[in-house]
Amino acid sequence: MQASNGNPDNNTNNVLTTDESIQERLWLDSNLTKFDDILRENYDKSIEDFSEAIITYLCTLTDAMRGAFFVMNSNKDRVQFSGGFACTENTMKKTEFEVGESVVGQVAKSKRISNLKDIPFQNVYLDSSAGQLSARCMVVVPLIFNEEVYGVIELIFLHNLEDKYIDLLRRLSRSAAAMLQSIQNNIKTKKLLEESIMQAERLQAAEEEMRQNNEELVATQEEMERKSNELERLLWESKAKEQELHDIKEKLESEQENFSRMTSSVPGMIFQYQIYPNGTHKFPYTSSGIAEIFGKKVGDFKSVDVFKELMHEDDVKTFEQTIERAADMMQVWQWEGRFMLKNGNGRVKWLAGSARPEILEDESVLFSGIFTDITSLKENESLIQTVNERFELINEGSTEGIWDMDIPANETLDRDTPVWWSGQCNVLLDCQDGLAEKLGSLYDRVHPSSRGLFFEHFHHHLRNYESTKPFEKSFRFRTQEDRYRWFLLRGTIRRNEQGKPIRMAGALIDITQYKTLQKKLDKFKAREKSMLAKIHELEASASKE
């Protein structure tokens, strides 16, 4: 073997330096991997639990004596305390900072790490059982993802922090920010979905109640018309039946009182609207509900002009057109319009009108029907539309696809199980024709090597009644041109009191880049391991010489 021409001490120092550099890289990669595990374990937790887990891990890793986790509020103008290590919200002198205020607020504004070294003694104290300790170093790290700040971490030490920890904190902060952004988006999505479902259920119940009231009202009106016609026939039949007619009249008056009491309790105004051959319009009858809806007295609408003056000017024409058309075609009249009531403080009131026409002997057309107040329904419709629009905007702006599936009563999923897919699912899978709303449309895209376990994973999770963990499995799905990408299929199950699954909803997340990076990392670790082995062999050979 040829002897080395260089200085042996220098060669030894170079080897040691290389070994230390490799050890530092391995230390850095190991901590990054451990931190990814911590993030995954706390992905489905609340913001507070997530903050506590992260700040506890970082303080333990860096030997910090105290740590605080701050989260950016929804207005992006201040950061608020959400978790701490060796401190609580009650022990903190200040739990929130405006952006630009103090060190924490300035770091959120500048988006740069602040490392305050060699802090003069007695400037920053840490309480302990033995008394107060003087801090030596304070590191404040912004949590940045896609150039946006989602929070700030403050760490306090009794000693200056090594540079390798600063570099580690910078890398860990990006992963923590990305996970924090994902948790916040999940919370917003769940809240919007719950609000949308509740509003839809309330609207459906209100519509069903109004339909039943309308049916009862029409039936009562038809019964009253039949009895009124019977009375007119008896009056002209014979004076000999006067006593009988008197009894019938008393009975009719009693029923009329019952009818009046009933109409007064109906939420709305019962009315008759008559159109004469000469074009004259009038209200022959209005119930006591006129006071509740219009603030008028019975008989105030003898002149139709009074009624139209209260109507919104943009709806007068549609009212006239629809009722004329219903009279010409002898069909049920349906209409919705706005009214500007003087005692309503300028508030617009929405009314729905429904009436059935009939032709009288004088060839006039008489409509008998009801006006009901639907202002609340209109406001609910507007609110639901706003919620739906917000959901669509969140869905369009999200990088994750959303899906929703009703669980069959037998808890068995197959290719025909109905599933709703958001538009982002089609984008992620590059499905130009759109996924069919069946589970089979996704099953057909599973890589052949994993297809046999697709339904088995679902069924195992569905029938584990005591489990509270979310469903989370990785699959390779086929996109266009028979290419495959890695996706995380994640879902949450809603169960009844007995634990039986009722509904499942979740997200489809493209993790191809993560899988690729993981594979490269594994290869890098293997190469490093091989390099270390060769270095040790060279050292052993050199020592023998």
* Domain ranges for the chain: 27-191, 198-381, 399-510
Most confident of 224-238, 277-291, 494-508: 494-508
First-to-final CA distance of the chain: 9
Q: Is the pLDDT of residue 527 over 70?
A: yes
Name which of 154, 53, 177 is nearest 97 in CA terms.
154
How confident is the model at residue 139, as a pLDDT? 94
How confident is the model at residue 83, as a pLDDT? 93
Average pLDDT of the residues in 79-100: 91
Distance CA 84, CA 70 (A): 9
Q: Give the mean pLDDT of the chain.
A: 83
User: How many Å separate Cα 87 from the centre of its chain?
Assistant: 33
Q: Is the pLDDT of residue 187 over 70?
A: yes
Distance CA 274, CA 167 (A): 85
Please provide the CATH number assigned to the domain covering 399-510.
3.30.450.20
Q: Is the pLDDT of residue 242 over 60?
A: yes
Average pLDDT of the residues in 122-133: 60
The pLDDT confidence band at residue 4, using thresholds 50, 70 and 90, is very low
441's enclosing H/E stretch is: helix 440-443
Contact 485, 510 (CB under 8 A): yes
Most confident of 294-308, 345-359, 446-460: 446-460
**In terms of DSSP bridges, do strands 78-85 and 269-275 run parallel, antiparallel, or are they unpaired?**
unpaired
Distance CA 97, CA 88 (A): 16
Distance CA 371, CA 213 (A): 12
Query: What is the identity of the amino acid at 529?
Result: K
The pTM score is 0.37
The pLDDT confidence band at residue 393, using thresholds 50, 70 and 90, is low
Residue 148's SS3 state is strand
Name the CATH code of domain 27-191 (choices 3.30.450.40, 3.40.50.460, 3.40.50.2020, 3.20.20.70). Answer: 3.30.450.40
Which of 66-70, 168-172, 218-222 has the least mean pLDDT? Answer: 218-222
Q: Is the pLDDT of residue 130 over 50?
A: no
Angstrom CA distances, 68 to 48, 178, 543, stand at 12, 19, 51
How confident is the model at residue 125, as a pLDDT? 60
Name which of 377, 387, 402, 392 is nearest 197 in CA terms.
387
Contact 428, 395 (CB under 8 A): no
Q: Is the dihedral of CA 424, 429, 433, 435 positive or negative?
A: negative
Angstrom CA distances, 67 to 11, 103, 165, 181, 209, stand at 43, 14, 15, 21, 57
Domain 198-381, classified CATH 3.20.20.100, yes or no: no
How confident is the model at residue 375, as a pLDDT? 81
Structure tokens at 530: 């091989």
Higher pLDDT, 178 or 232: 178
The residues with which 80 forms a beta bridge, in sequence order, are 71, 96
pLDDT of 22-42, one tens digit each? Answer: 887 888 888 888 888 888 888
Residue with tokens 């109906």: 266
How confident is the model at residue 364, as a pLDDT? 92
Name which of 540, 531, 544, 545 is nearest 18 in CA terms.
531
Q: Is the pLDDT of residue 137 over 60?
A: yes
How confident is the model at residue 346, as a pLDDT? 61
Name which of 73, 76, 75, 86 is nearest 154 in CA terms.
86
Q: 473 CB contacts (<8 Å, ≥6 apart)? A: 457, 488, 489
Which of 309-318, 379-388, 401-410 has the least mean pLDDT? Answer: 379-388
The reply to whether 198-381 and 399-510 are identical in fold is yes
How confident is the model at residue 141, as a pLDDT? 95
How confident is the model at residue 16, as a pLDDT? 59
Which of 220-234, 267-281, 443-457 has the least mean pLDDT? Answer: 220-234
Contact 175, 161 (CB under 8 A): no
pLDDT of 353-378, one tens digit each? Answer: 999 999 999 999 999 988 888 888 87
Distance CA 156, CA 139 (A): 6
The pLDDT confidence band at residue 276, using thresholds 50, 70 and 90, is very high
Distance CA 91, CA 94 (A): 9
Distance CA 474, CA 508 (A): 10
Separate counts of helices (H) and strands (E) for the chain: 13, 18
